[in-house]
Chain A
């Protein structure tokens, strides 16, 4: 397909638990995969990114994994906190420099 598939569309987890969001892309030439967090009414902000020459990247409670063979990449958030509640978007950067976005995952952290 043309787009990035992102699942789930909504994810509700208990505070302190982990959250995992998955994306599948189609262009095997894509080599840059950022994740953005967007709070209601605000701009998307980059939280982590990964390039195709690595399989995993971690930054404190956030990690991203990339499986180039399967064309999957995932966002992992551990020890979730209320401020993690937002919409998360995955994206792939294609060889023509377009950033193609997933439809978003609304993450709800339950107290």
Chain B
């Protein structure tokens, strides 16, 4: 039973380019959460999705950032026109259902904007 998969593990983008981060939840999990972690800091909630639905995007910047979790395929976090401040580790987590259940984390994608 594979864990949460994220790719790429490392992504380098120049300012103004687009970044696409992918997350495949654990088998049987239909809830996905995206977090951002800056160096030496905790994780900041960005967005919570179920299949084909955004449940809560209150932690996501209103501009340049978007997320989706289609019926088929991985969840995608998309950052348009990246800026240096977007450099961070982006983790996704999945859980089997909503409520107070453990979230299983992927290995993260480390985005560097040059």
Interface of A with B (CB < 8 Å)?
6, 31-32, 34, 42-46, 49, 51, 89, 93, 96-104
Residue of A nearest to B110 (CB): A41
- How would you classify the secondary structure of chain B's contact residues: helix, strand, loop or mixed? loop
- How would you classify the secondary structure of chain A's contact residues: helix, strand, loop or mixed? strand
Interface of B with A (CB < 8 Å)?
33, 35, 40-45, 48, 55-56, 58-59, 91, 98-100, 102-108
| Chain A residues within an 8 Å CB radius of B58 | 98
Name the one of A93, A97, A98, A101 contacting B42, with C-beta atoms under 8 angstroms. A101
Beyond A32-B100, A34-B103, A43-B106, 9 extra complex contacts between A and B, CB < 8 Å: A43-B108, A44-B43, A44-B91, A93-B100, A97-B56, A98-B45, A104-B40, A104-B41, A104-B42
**Minimum Cβ distance to chain B for residue A94 (Å):** 10
Residue of B nearest to A30 (CB): B100
**Minimum Cβ distance to chain A for residue B109 (Å):** 11
| Chain A to chain B contacts (Cβ below 8 Å), 11 pairs | A31-B100, A46-B102, A51-B100, A89-B42, A97-B55, A97-B56, A97-B98, A98-B48, A98-B58, A103-B41, A104-B40
Q: How far is the CA of A45 from the CA of B108 in the complex (A)?
A: 12
Q: How far is the CA of A34 from the CA of B104 in the complex (A)?
A: 12
